């Protein structure tokens, strides 16, 4: 079994649609730290699960220096972003950790099928 982790940092803004009053309902930004985990038993013809550069490009092209609400069709909580990034990277991705500040992070871990 092979496993890789890629850490990314992006700068992006978002606002949350909440059913209670919160300053997070206003547009605000974060320097997000995103950890992506991939696992598999087979490597591609280059000897990789997925090229680190391709992981970075998939995430940064979509989110870096963007208003996340403009590029997704869901409420962009850290939890929802973690799930979306995991799905974006395909079946080899089994976990994504999204940290929007030093003390606030969320993880999505794909259920084994």
First to last CA, the chain: 16
Tell me which of 24, 26, 84, 102 is the catalytic residue. 24
- Contact by Cβ (8 Å): 76, 68: yes
45 noted as active-site residue? no
* 8 Å CB contact between 83 and 89: no
Q: Is 24 a catalytic residue?
A: yes
Among 9, 28, 54, 65, the active-site one is 65
Selecting among 100, 102, 111, 112, the annotated active-site residue is 100
Does residue 65 have an active-site annotation? yes
Which residues belong to the active site? 24, 65, 100
């Amino acid at each position: 079994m092979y496993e890789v982790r890629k850490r990314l940092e992006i700068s992006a803004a978002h606002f949350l649609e909440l059913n209670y009053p919160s300053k997070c309902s206003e547009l605000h930004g974060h320097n997000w730290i995103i950890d992506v985990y991939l696992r598999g038993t087979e490597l591609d013809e280059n000897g990789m699960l997925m090229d680190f550069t391709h992981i970075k490009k998939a995430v940064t092209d979509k989110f870096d220096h963007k208003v996340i609400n403009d590029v997704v069709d869901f409420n962009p909580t850290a939890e929802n972003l973690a799930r979306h990034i995991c799905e974006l990277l395909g079946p080899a991705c089994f976990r994504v950790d999204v940290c929007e500040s030093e003390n606030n992070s969320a993880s999505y871990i794909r259920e084994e099928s």
